[in-house]
Amino acid sequence: MELLIVAVFVVGYILIALEHPIHINKTATALLTGVLCWTLFAFSDPTASLLSSQHFIDFLEKLKSSAPNFAALTSSEIHREFVVESLAEHLSEISQILFFLMGAMTIVELVDAHHGFKFITDRITTKNAKTLLWIVCGVTFILSAILDNLTTTIVMVSLIRKIIPNKDMRLFFAGMIIVAANAGGAWSPIGDVTTTMLWIGGQITAVGIVKSLIIPSIVCMIVPLIYLSFTMKGELGEETKVKVEEPSSGYGKLMLFLGVAALISVPIFKTVTHLPPYLGMMLGLGVLWVASELINPNVDDSKKKNYTAAHALTRIDMPSVLFFLGILLAVGALQSMTTLHNFAEFLNHTLGDNRIIITLIGILSAIVDNVPLVAASMGMYDMSVYPPDDMIWEYLAYCAGTGGSLLVIGSAAGVAAMGMVKIDFIWYIKKITLLAAIGYFAGAAAYLIQYSLLH
């Protein structure tokens, strides 16, 4: 039965990767995979490795002390209890991530609805291609540490669409934005999904991850930039269109300020209260929501609607949220069955070194989604052996965060940019992949050297 569940998982995973050719949305596949894995798990007989796992023994002890009729329970009833209990535990962890994401996405949408990001992008006016590249990448790097990579990419790519008329040059910039956005997200607990997952799971701490990954992440972006400074040729091209003023609500600056303040205070909230991060995010969302309803008191209701959080909520990417739900449920089933743990031991025996395994995970994340990869790694390695802020967690955050830049389909940022400026898969491999690879390995080397110097 365990084999069957692994088979379902693998098939589901392949269908997700083949989303576009087979025309089935990956969220549908992910939901079905998650549900099927748990259904089969509930029907299966417990395996020997499950029965001897520490988690199961702990569960038995608890059940003994809380269920009065423990002696009367059959082994299949106990198994069923165990499955339901494990599912509830996983759901609690998963929904923390999902509500965190929903809150963050809504805050960002709300700032965007008020044209808050214009205050940043309006300031970029240089005409020199190399200077512009440095500025664009620098801004992307900082923005993506605060916002999610997807939004950062959308904001920055729409900027370069306006200021770079030359098509080849524009694609080049878009490629570097992807690299910079992924590098910028990796070192901040609120910057991208995988680092956030590790933070919410307790594998890394906010201060610890910033300290250990900021230098590798900067290296990951700057090395390709330096290389480009020597080799880049070409012009930005002449601007043909006159700028059209977009109507704005007049509160863009306020909302931008509030939004960034809300996002940055999430880690502070966690440190002060010890409550999970999603609550801090919800607090921020609540404050911004009230603010968005109280400003513009004179606008009539139908217009005002566009500027409220209720409207922003209709524009967030709910299919992605449900995709994470499905895929994380599936990974959770494999974790509870101890399959992942066994797989990690197998990898250890064949490859030997965790650093090699994690570097490979990073490269793999260019092909498959990095969220399940990180979720699986979190299940593979036990927190009692690898305590918070251990090298493997930090290195995992770096690799999974930046490895996706290697292919245009490897990260959410890449997929978004692909949709916006029509980047070709092959074009990206020819022009950007090498740059991204240089950055990825330079950053990885920087982390490993930094680690050996400090420990």
Partner 1 sequence: MEILIIVVFILGYTAIALEHPIKVNKTASAILTGVICWTLFVLADPSASVVESEAFQNFTKHLALEKGIDNFSKFTSSELYKEFVIHSLAEHLSEIAQILFFLMGAMTIVELVDAHHGFRFITDRINTKNPKFLMWIICIVAFFLSAVLDNLTTTIVMVSLVRKLIPDRNMRLLFIGMIVISANAGGAWTPIGDVTTTMLWIGGQITSMNIIQALFIPSLACMIAPLILLSFTLRGNMGEMKSHSSTPEHTVGGGKLMLFLGVAVLVSVPIFKTTTHLPPYVGMLLGLGVLWVVSELIHPDLDETVKKNYTAAGALSRIDVPSVLFFLGILLAVGALESMQVLHHFALTLDTAIGNHSIIISLIGVLSAIVDNVPLVAASMGMYSMDVFPPNHFIWEYLAYCAGTGGSILIIGSAAGVAAMGMEKIDFIWYVKKISLLALLGYGVGAVVYLLLN
Residue placing its CB nearer to partner 1 in the complex, 56 or 173: 56
CB atoms within 10 A of CB 62: 11
CA 431 to CA 417: how far, in whole Å?
Answer: 15
Tell me if 66 contacts partner 1 by CB under 8 A. yes
Q: How many residues sit in the footprint of partner 1 (CB under 8 A)?
A: 63
Of residues 18, 62, 70, 127, which one binds partner 1 by CB under 8 A? 62
Maximum separation of any 2 CA atoms in the chain, in Å:
82
Smallest gap from Cβ 217 to partner 1, in A, equals 30
Tell me if 5 contacts partner 1 by CB under 8 A. no
Of 75-114, which residues contact partner 1 (CB under 8 A)? 80, 83-84, 87-89, 91-96, 98-99, 102
Of residues 48, 65, 69, 426, which one binds partner 1 by CB under 8 A? 65
Residue placing its CB nearer to partner 1 in the complex, 332 or 362: 332
Cβ proximity of 281 and 101 under 8 Å: no
Tell me if 308 contacts partner 1 by CB under 8 A. yes
Site track for partner 1 across 312-351, x = CB under 8 A: -xxxx-xx--x--xx-------------------------
Give me the sign of the Cα torsion angle 113, 116, 117, 122: positive
Smallest gap from Cβ 421 to partner 1, in A, equals 18
Tell me if 156 contacts partner 1 by CB under 8 A. no
Amino acid occupying residue 227: Y
Of residues 285, 344, 412, 432, which one binds partner 1 by CB under 8 A? 285
Tell me if 294 contacts partner 1 by CB under 8 A. yes
Phi, psi (5° rounding) for residue 191? Answer: -85, -40
Smallest gap from Cβ 167 to partner 1, in A, equals 24
Tell me if 35 contacts partner 1 by CB under 8 A. yes
Tell me if 415 contacts partner 1 by CB under 8 A. no
Binding segment toward partner 1, per CB under 8 A, in 60-68, 257-265, 348-356, 422-430: 60-68
Of residues 138, 293, 343, 391, which one binds partner 1 by CB under 8 A? 293
Smallest gap from Cβ 310 to partner 1, in A, equals 5
Smallest gap from Cβ 194 to partner 1, in A, equals 21
Of residues 282, 360, 420, 437, which one binds partner 1 by CB under 8 A? 282
Binding segment toward partner 1, per CB under 8 A, in 59-67, 109-117, 217-225, 258-266: 59-67
Of residues 14, 207, 226, 310, which one binds partner 1 by CB under 8 A? 310
Residue placing its CB nearer to partner 1 in the complex, 294 or 426: 294
Binding segment toward partner 1, per CB under 8 A, in 62-70, 157-165, 212-220, 346-354: 62-70
Residue placing its CB nearer to partner 1 in the complex, 23 or 430: 23
In SS3 terms, the chain reads as CHHHHHHHHHHHHHHHHCHHHHCCCHHHHHHHHHHHHHHHHHHCCCCHHHHCCHHHHHHHHHHHHHCCCHHHCCHHHHHHHHHHHHHHHHHHHHHHHHHHHHHHHHHHHHHHHCCCCHHHHCCCCCCCHHHHHHHHHHHHHHHHHHCCHHHHHHHHHHHHHHHCCCHHHHHHHHHHHHHHHHHHHHCCCCCCHHHHHHHHCCCCCHHHHHHHHHHHHHHHHHHHHHHHHHHCCCCCCCCCCCCCCCCCCCCHHHHHHHHHHHHHHHHHHHHHHCCCHHHHHHHHHHHHHHHHHHCCCCCCHHHHHHHCHHHHHHHCCHHHHHHHHHHHHHHHHHHHCCHHHHHHHHHHHHHCCHHHHHHHHHHHCCCCCHHHHHHHHHHHCCCCCCCCCCHHHHHHHHHHHHHHHHCCCCCHHHHHHHHHHCCCHHHHHHHCHHHHHHHHHHHHHHHHHHHHHHC
Residues forming the site for partner 1 (CB under 8 A)? 23-25, 27-29, 31-32, 34-36, 38-39, 42-43, 58, 61-62, 65-66, 80, 83-84, 87-89, 91-96, 98-99, 102, 273-276, 279-280, 282-283, 285-287, 289-290, 293-294, 297, 308-310, 313-316, 318-319, 322, 325-326
